[in-house]
Amino acid sequence: MRSIPILGLSVIRLVLIMRRWFMLVLTVAVVAATAFGVEPAGASRGKVSVAAAFYPVAFAAQKVGGTRVDVANLTPVGAEPHDTELNSEQLDRLLDAKVAFVLGNGFQPAVEKAADRRDGATVELLPKLVDAKGKKVATEGKDGGLDPHVWLDPVLMSQVVGEVERGLAAADPNGAATYERNARGIQDQLAALDTRYRDRLTGCARDLLVTSHEAFGYVANRYGLRQEGVAGLSPDAEPDPARLGELAELARDQSVTTVFTEETVSPRIARTLAREAGGLRTEVLSPLESLTKRERDGKADYFTLMDANLGKIATALGCP
């Protein structure tokens, strides 16, 4: 009879000891997980949440932010970012992000309007970009809007990277040194890309780029080329037949060899023009506005697509 309460006491003591050990093991496990950077479920806890309006901006944010950031690209793979509409999940990502990067000047009105509702910082990139004389770069296209396609010019893309660096450092001052180092690395690569463009596009037989949508105005200005677009600054604008006739005549006059089109829009218009101008080739250039699924799966990125564009432009213009 005496042994039962003793046994009961022992059981209680044993439970208390086990509980103490359990708590100790749990504490060690949590400390170890934190120290070795194991993320709790949800994966992005502890990272700086960044919303980027479309591919080149997301690319810059990811490269500059590295492992410190969790970047949401608000324009899905294969989608065309002019006039992007946000679904509710994308809207939440935009509103909840610590810092958001949008192009500005009305490139994506729905995104920019939604960004006005944010509590956190929003960086509008295009109004900050300047030419060599310090003047704002945003230039007007033939249809009256401001030309948004700054990311296709490596020099302006380098400024985008600088603005992304400043925006991230303001949102996360502890990461400032990392962001600066990463930004310098990518700006060095952009300087090398600029040199490749400049070297390759010197001494070409022709200087006229005929494109389906006028995405290459800044590139043309930078490297001494001219651009004539069929559809204006927005790829879904329908050209009038008079414009097509005018371009066909210009193409014949200037011995144009190639009409450039792109993957995310219908090549119908470019094909019509190529036929009307007397059997020209059509070739795909990437406006780098978003990656297609094929490009993403093939591990393409800003730099591989920019180099691919350069090769096609140089061939079309008869560059040495």
Binding residue count for Zn ion, defined by CB under 5 A: 1
The gap from C-alpha 220 to its chain's centroid, in whole angstroms, comes to: 20
Whose Cβ is closer to Zn ion: residue 84's or residue 122's?
84
Whose Cβ is closer to Zn ion: residue 83's or residue 253's?
83
The minimum distance between CB 277 and Zn ion, in angstroms, equals 23
The minimum distance between CB 148 and Zn ion, in angstroms, equals 6
Whose Cβ is closer to Zn ion: residue 137's or residue 319's?
137
Contact region for Zn ion (CB under 5 A) — 59-67, 99-107, 209-217, 277-285? 209-217
Contacts of residues 135-139 at CB distance under 8 Å and 24 or more positions apart, as own/partner, are: 137/218, 138/105, 139/217, 139/218, 139/221
Of 186, 215, 277, 306, the one binding Zn ion (CB under 5 A) is 215
The minimum distance between CB 80 and Zn ion, in angstroms, equals 8
Residue 179 identity (one-letter amino acid): Y
Contact region for Zn ion (CB under 5 A) — 65-73, 133-141, 208-216, 305-313? 208-216
The minimum distance between CB 131 and Zn ion, in angstroms, equals 20
Please say whether the beta carbons of 235 and 170 come within 8 A. no
The minimum distance between CB 293 and Zn ion, in angstroms, equals 19
CA distance 71 to 74: 9
Contact region for Zn ion (CB under 5 A) — 125-133, 214-222, 266-274, 302-310? 214-222
Contact region for Zn ion (CB under 5 A) — 34-42, 101-109, 215-223, 252-260? 215-223
Nearest to 113, CA basis, from 89, 80, 136, 83: 83
- Annotate 18-37 with DSSP letters as a single string: HHHHHHHHHHHHHHHHHHTT
Contact region for Zn ion (CB under 5 A) — 25-33, 44-52, 120-128, 213-221? 213-221
Whose Cβ is closer to Zn ion: residue 62's or residue 211's?
211
Q: Compute, in degrees rounded to 10, the torsion defined by CA atoms 59, 61, 65, 69.
A: -100
3-state helix, strand, coil in the chain (%, to 5): 50, 10, 35
Please say whether the beta carbons of 56 and 160 come within 8 A. yes
Whose Cβ is closer to Zn ion: residue 251's or residue 288's?
288
Whose Cβ is closer to Zn ion: residue 215's or residue 259's?
215
Nearest to 160, CA basis, from 145, 171, 149, 170: 149
DSSP 8-state secondary structure symbol assigned to residue 40: P
Whose Cβ is closer to Zn ion: residue 154's or residue 287's?
287
The minimum distance between CB 231 and Zn ion, in angstroms, equals 10
The minimum distance between CB 214 and Zn ion, in angstroms, equals 8
Residue partners of 278: CB distance under 8 A and separation at least 6: 248, 251, 252
CA distance 315 to 275: 20
Q: What element of type H or E holds 101? A: strand 99-102
Give the residue at shortest CB distance from Zn ion. Answer: 215
Q: Does 150 bind Zn ion (CB under 5 A)?
A: no
The minimum distance between CB 82 and Zn ion, in angstroms, equals 5
Binding site for Zn ion (CB under 5 A): 215
